[in-house]
Amino acid sequence: MTNYIKQTNPFVIPTSDGKIIEEHFGHTNGNEDLSLATMNAPSGWSEPFQTPEFDEYTFVIKGKKQITIDGEKIILNAGESIKILKGSRVQYANPFNEACEYIAICTPSFSVGLANREE
């Protein structure tokens, strides 16, 4: 018996907005405590506002990402990170002229039902 789980084949979450999501650990493979995903958001991408029931940590690898939290706009550049507490009204976007590559960690694990996205 091993004391680790090596992830070599992340689950690619289908999207209709051009964003590529590869979930390494999380809801898709039975881990409800935490999700870990790599993301690639194309130029011009954005999500609707949401009020998630999970904390979300974001680390930008390449490019930059705009995050609106309770009405305040924040720009994260490559090498920067942020923790957004559950219950915050938040919108993620990439209005810039380059793709944004980043890592997201959610506790508990991300699920659409816990995201509480606005229509």
- Residues in CB range of 3: below 8 A, 6 or more apart: none
pLDDT digit string, tens, across residues 15-67: 999 999 999 999 988 899 999 999 999 999 999 999 999 999 999 999 999 99
> What is the sign, positive or negative, of the torsion defined by CA atoms of 53, 79, 98, 28?
negative
> The domain that contains 29 carries what CATH number?
2.60.120.10
pLDDT digit string, tens, across residues 75-113: 999 999 999 999 999 999 999 999 999 999 999 999 999
Place of tokens 């949401």: 50
Q: Which domain holds residue 15?
A: 11-115
Count: domains in the chain = 1
Average pLDDT of the chain? Answer: 96
Is residue 6 domain-resident? no
Containing H/E element for 34?
A: none
Predicted confidence (pLDDT) at residue 3 exceeds the cutoff of 90: yes
